[in-house]
Amino acid sequence: MIQKLLDERKLPALMKMNDGTPVTKENWEARRRELIDVLETMEYGRFPKKCGETTWKVVSAGESSAGKATKSRVEITVPMPDGESFTFPVTVSIPNTATADAPKPAFVYISFAFLWYYPEEELVDNDVTVAEMWMNDVAWDTDEHLEKMAAHFSKDGQRAPDTTGKIGLWAFAASCVLDYLLSLDCVDRNRVGVIGHSRLGKTALWAGANDERFTHVFSNDSGCSGAAITRQKVGEDFPAICRRFPYWFCENMKEISGTVEDSENAPFDQHYLLAAVAPRKLYVASAEKDQWADPVSEYLCCAAASEAWEANGVTGFVHPDRLPEGWDRFADGNVAYHIRPGTHYLSRHDWVRYCDFISG
């Protein structure tokens, strides 16, 4: 059943190089570069390159979660392509159980608002460190390119056709937060994840696709231009998302988002984005009532991307031959998926399952 549904979507081939050569473990990295290149050119814009060392300063620290953790405010400073630098804050919660002798997992959590809800004490109790980064501290979620990090990537507010959009700036900032986390000897570098919800789920996927130091990548309800297949998607489509949020993407995205037909003729689909995480660990989650994101297209995208893991000799997406429903969770492979009843939200239920996966 699932293969039939996938065939109907008529997706561009994943496991063929641009010149038609079949993809194997040997040329996987070259294929991964091709996937990222088309996503950079047409969708998100060029992923910023580091122009120098990321530095940081702990500006305050204190006990939190009933004394079971330390919470600190850290300023991250990143050299910019115009020779200047840009500084933004993150809030880091480190459980007391995480030590140099017993390093523990950590998340870079890209959030909607400074200290947006997350079950902080529960994460502490699960020995998980969280570095929370607020998107608006990095770049405003608006169509302006003159302020904050965006100012360093535009000229007088104008962007070149493939200059990064805001998703790319937030994703790059997440990668700079990772520089900081990896400097902490209480963080287990084999278990560092990036996580975000909705527009920030798209961002987490793009960060994880580009920065291979992220061992685990989590997309919560990311939908259109995130974890959902674009071809025949229900709910939001490229024209709808680009009318409201053109600045999330590069200017070239306009070429493939005028009509639904344009987007269905694009030389890529979102399984390219998921596959760019292979052979690392990927977790996609949906909410049943979130038809705008389209749970079915998110699930099918995991199934479509799975062959990238298999070509690398590891298990991809292990799932039954049916669509997901209720509280289904399929987490036996390197690509995991769950759905839950309810609406578009990054809930406690989701967090707990992400914790299990990264701790596993």
Judged by the rule CB under 6 A, the positions of this chain that interact with ligand GTR are 198-199, 223-224, 236, 241
DSSP string, 91-135: EEEEETT--SSS-EEEEEEEESSTT----HHHHHHTT-EEEEEEH
Which neighbouring-strand residues pair with 56? 76
Is the Cβ of residue 71 or residue 166 nearer to ligand GTR in the bound state?
166
Question: 112, exposed or middle or buried, with CB in 10 Å at 0-12, 13-18, 19+?
Answer: middle
The distance of closest approach from Cβ of residue 116 to ligand GTR in the complex, given in angstroms and rounded to an integer, is: 12
The distance of closest approach from Cβ of residue 198 to ligand GTR in the complex, given in angstroms and rounded to an integer, is: 3
The distance of closest approach from Cβ of residue 57 to ligand GTR in the complex, given in angstroms and rounded to an integer, is: 31
Tokens of 184: 């902490």
The distance of closest approach from Cβ of residue 35 to ligand GTR in the complex, given in angstroms and rounded to an integer, is: 21
Q: What is the rounded CA–CA span in Å between residue 293 and residue 102?
A: 39
Neighbouring C-alpha atoms within 13 Å toward the C-beta of 311: 21
Is the Cβ of residue 74 or residue 174 nearer to ligand GTR in the bound state?
174
Is the Cβ of residue 64 or residue 347 nearer to ligand GTR in the bound state?
347
- Number of Cβ atoms within 10 Å of the Cβ of 148: 18
Is the Cβ of residue 208 or residue 279 nearer to ligand GTR in the bound state?
208
Is the Cβ of residue 116 or residue 330 nearer to ligand GTR in the bound state?
116
Q: What is the rounded CA–CA span in Å between residue 54 and residue 154?
A: 21
The distance of closest approach from Cβ of residue 298 to ligand GTR in the complex, given in angstroms and rounded to an integer, is: 12
Please tell me whether residue 206 adopts helix, strand or coil conformation: helix
Q: What is the rounded CA–CA span in Å between residue 25 and residue 114?
A: 41
Is the Cβ of residue 201 or residue 324 nearer to ligand GTR in the bound state?
201
CA-nearest of 203, 174, 206 to 40 is 206
- Residue 336 backbone phi and psi in degrees, to 5: -115, 155
The distance of closest approach from Cβ of residue 226 to ligand GTR in the complex, given in angstroms and rounded to an integer, is: 7
The distance of closest approach from Cβ of residue 313 to ligand GTR in the complex, given in angstroms and rounded to an integer, is: 34
Is the Cβ of residue 14 or residue 150 nearer to ligand GTR in the bound state?
150
The distance of closest approach from Cβ of residue 282 to ligand GTR in the complex, given in angstroms and rounded to an integer, is: 19
The distance of closest approach from Cβ of residue 138 to ligand GTR in the complex, given in angstroms and rounded to an integer, is: 15
Maximal C-alpha separation, the chain: 58
Is the Cβ of residue 164 or residue 198 nearer to ligand GTR in the bound state?
198
Is the Cβ of residue 180 or residue 354 nearer to ligand GTR in the bound state?
354
The distance of closest approach from Cβ of residue 236 to ligand GTR in the complex, given in angstroms and rounded to an integer, is: 5
CA-nearest of 192, 190, 167 to 178 is 192
Report whether 110 contacts 193 (CB < 8 A): no
Report whether 344 contacts 336 (CB < 8 A): no
Is the Cβ of residue 56 or residue 247 nearer to ligand GTR in the bound state?
247
Report whether 145 contacts 158 (CB < 8 A): yes
Q: Helix, strand, coil % (nearest 5) of the chain?
A: 35, 25, 40
Q: What is the rounded CA–CA span in Å between residue 254 and residue 263?
A: 10
